[in-house]
Amino acid sequence: MVSDVRSNLRAEDALYLCQGDPGSTEWVRWAAENKSRFNGQFGDLLTRRDGDRAILRMQPHMGLSNVSGNMHGGAVMTFIDLAMFLGCSVLGGWPSTSGGQTVDCNVQFVGGADLERPIDATVEITRQTGRFLFVRGTLEQAGDMISSFMGILRKPSQ
């Protein structure tokens, strides 16, 4: 059971500002608060809840590409990191969209991501303790698998 801590979200702490109900089953826009930050390179993200899973969507662009014209592997891993944190916010397991740390993140690349189609990250919380969230998920592009991942997030100090 994931405790719901979304009520603790503070706009002044957020790297992304949710423009709607973060737990909605409809697409909700998360606006990058400061586009000059590294995370701002990914632009606004969309989220929706699907049962015990959060789905996050981003549109890749040339600024995130590699020399092959696909999305750079480092950009894929950064999107996974963003998806883990925002996904936990959507699922009610994260007290803020800032703070905390990624303790561990394992990524298995399966295929490349083109720049034409949106990328969807599916995130689920597999376990929660007082200080940590354990998550797993996948990245897909129109049903084509890009990667799978597992991670551990340390919650921010209260």
- Residue 52 domain-assigned (yes or no): yes
Closest CA to 87 of 49, 138, 144, 117: 49
3 state SS of 95: coil
Residue 136, beta-bridge partner list = 124, 150
Q: What is the pLDDT of residues 75-99, one digit of tens each?
A: 999 999 999 999 998 998 776 556 7
pLDDT of 33 over the 90 cut: no
Closest CA to 152 of 47, 81, 60: 81
CA distance 4 to 45: 22
- Residue 1 domain-assigned (yes or no): no
> Model-level pTM greater than 0.75?
yes
Phi-psi region of 149 (alpha: psi -120 to 50; beta: other; left: phi over 0): beta
Q: What is the pLDDT of residues 52-77, one digit of tens each?
A: 999 999 999 999 999 999 999 999 99
Structural domain span for residue 103: 6-154
Domain count of the fold of the chain: 1
- Residue 126 domain-assigned (yes or no): yes
- Residue 135 domain-assigned (yes or no): yes
Contact between residue 32 and residue 40 where contact means Cβ atoms under 8 Å apart: yes
- Residue 15 domain-assigned (yes or no): yes
CATH code, 96: 3.10.129.10
β strands within the chain, DSSP E: 16-18, 28-32, 45-50, 53-58, 101-109, 119-128, 132-141, 144-154
